[in-house]
Amino acid sequence: MTGNQRIAHGLNGLLADATVFYQKLRHYHWNVAGSEFFTLHAKFEEMYTAWAMTIDQVAERILMVDGVPLHTLAAMLRETELDEDESIPAAVGMVDAILADLFLLRARAGTVIGAAETVDDRGTVNLLDDVCDAIEKDAWMLGAWKKEGAKAWQ
């Protein structure tokens, strides 16, 4: 496998994860209820809007390294490391699931960054550095909400 093929393969894995994550965010946005509705409804929408752009950027990067982005839901589901959520968890459960997914997304992006660095693919590294920064900020913000939310329930 050439360097570009390895990068395209890794980016396609990230694309699959991002697509499943995007849909989970929409699911939670639609179904969040209770006292945290207004806060989380808005946050989940903010996040899925940002991830829609990230998905597009990752797919375009795959094309730039001479790959073909995954383009069916079946292919995405075969390649993802994330789990769909058919349940409708309580708000804290939604945040827990999103935090777990952010951790996996960050790890997957880090793996692709490592592969891209070995072939001096600065474009992929730069793109994914920005993605990782956004992941870390969202994880921090949701973690802070969870601490505050946990206090409210005590």
pLDDT in tens, 57-84: 999 999 999 999 999 999 999 999 999 9
Closest C-alpha among 91, 106, 92 to residue 21: 106
121: left (phi over 0), alpha (psi -120 to 50) or beta: beta
Say which CATH topology domain 3-153 has.
Ferritin (1.20.1260)
Predicted structure pTM score: 0.94
Q: List the chain domain ranges.
A: 3-153
CB 121 within 8 A of CB 30: no
